[in-house]
């Protein structure tokens, strides 16, 4: 029986090889990819985040844990993205300017892709101008922004303002998320929606486009 707590522990310990092995084993045993993600990998990141906040680990520890998480996520990704039906909805998603945290954004991106949407992942540290050009030139109908550092949330506001200034606000729905982000903040900056996690992000996009959830 797959031991998902061992996956969390090895994420915390930054043991990428072990994480890779355990994630593969769990998949082979038929454990659902989303369960492995939430109860194994994400749980490990929560633990390391708490330790970082309490000065029990420092930046190098955080970096190796993030690397281990990403190794596991890479193995899970094909199982998270299993949808056959492709929707015509185009989504441009990225972590906002100044912010390099991309693990959560990568999960949201994979889940949206898995749900059949056409996702363009812009990576991290994405400028407002880049988002605007994805709407104007790339035809994005949804812009998804992620932020993990509280001060970088301001870049979400700046991006919405840039979209308004470029005259394309009516062409796009803006959705935001990330650990410090809230529905209240989304309302305040004029975003069309907020999602707490990747599953809710998929539901939100479906709702915004009138698909059944
Ligand atoms: Co950083 N970091 N980090 N970090 N880091 C946090 C965010 C922090 C809370 C840690 C802490 O103090 N406890 C803190 C921010 C404090 C604050 O602002 N309130 C912090 C800090 C301070 C920093 C640095 C400044 C540290 C330094 O240099 N001194 C630095 C900042 C660099 C920068 O961005 N400019 C930094 C760097 C790093 C690493 C590079 C080491 C690494 C990131 C690696 C990477 O992403 N490639 C890292 C990590 C790993 C973390 C923690 C531990 C974990 C983040 C994570 O991956 N969580 C984090 C503490 C924490 O959050 N517990 C922390 C797992 C992930 C699955 O969850 O990203 O929340 P999350 O995504 C979820 C939801 O939020 C949601 O769905 C996802 C899946 O369910 N979601 C969306 C996310 N985006 C969404 C978009 C949507 C919808 C939903 O719609 C578009």
pLDDT along the chain (213 residues), means of 10: 90 96 96 91 89 90 90 88 68 98 91 86 98 97 98 98 98 98 98 94 91 56
What pLDDT, on a 0 to 100 scale, did the predictor assign at position 150?
98
What pLDDT, on a 0 to 100 scale, did the predictor assign at position 81?
66
User: Which atom of ligand 1 lies closest to the CA of 98?
Assistant: 35
How far is 109 from 112, CA to CA, in rounded Å? 5
What pLDDT, on a 0 to 100 scale, did the predictor assign at position 157?
98
Q: Find the helix packing angle between 103-114 and 59-80, rounded to 10°.
A: 0
Query: Pocket of ligand 1, candidates 53, 148, 185, 198: which has the most ligand atoms within 8 Å of its Cβ, to mutate?
Result: 148
Compute the distance from residue 108 Cα to the ligand 1 centre, in Å. 14
How far is 97 from 89, CA to CA, in rounded Å? 24
Average model confidence (pLDDT) for the chain? 92
What pLDDT, on a 0 to 100 scale, did the predictor assign at position 213?
45
Is 116 touching ligand 1 by the criterion CB < 6 Å?
no
What pLDDT, on a 0 to 100 scale, did the predictor assign at position 82?
59
Angle CA 87–88–94, to nearest 5: 90
How far is 22 from 28, CA to CA, in rounded Å? 10
pTM here is 0.90
What pLDDT, on a 0 to 100 scale, did the predictor assign at position 185?
98
């Amino acid at each position: 029986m797959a031991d998902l707590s061992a996956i969390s522990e090895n994420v915390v310990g930054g043991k990428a090889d072990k994480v890779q092995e355990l994630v593969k084993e769990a998949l082979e045993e038929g454990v659902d990819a989303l369960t492995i993600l939430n109860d194994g990998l994400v749980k490990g990141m929560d633990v390391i985040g708490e330790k970082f906040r309490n000065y029990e680990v420092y930046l190098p520890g955080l970096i190796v844990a993030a690397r281990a998480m990403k190794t596991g996520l890479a193995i899970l990704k094909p199982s998270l993205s299993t949808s056959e039906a492709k929707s015509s909805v185009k989504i441009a998603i990225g972590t906002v300017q100044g912010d390099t945290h991309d693990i959560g954004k990568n999960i949201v991106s994979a889940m949206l892709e898995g749900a059949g949407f056409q996702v363009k992942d812009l990576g991290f540290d994405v400028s407002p101008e880049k988002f605007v050009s994805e709407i104007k030139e790339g035809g994005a109908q949804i812009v998804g922004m992620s932020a993990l550092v509280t001060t970088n949330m301001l870049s979400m506001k700046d991006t919405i303002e840039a979209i308004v200034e470029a005259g394309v606000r009516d062409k796009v729905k803006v959705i935001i998320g990330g650990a410090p982000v809230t529905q209240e903040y989304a309302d305040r900056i004029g975003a069309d929606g907020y999602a707490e996690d990747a599953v809710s992000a998929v539901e939100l996009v479906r709702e915004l486009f009138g698909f059944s959830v």
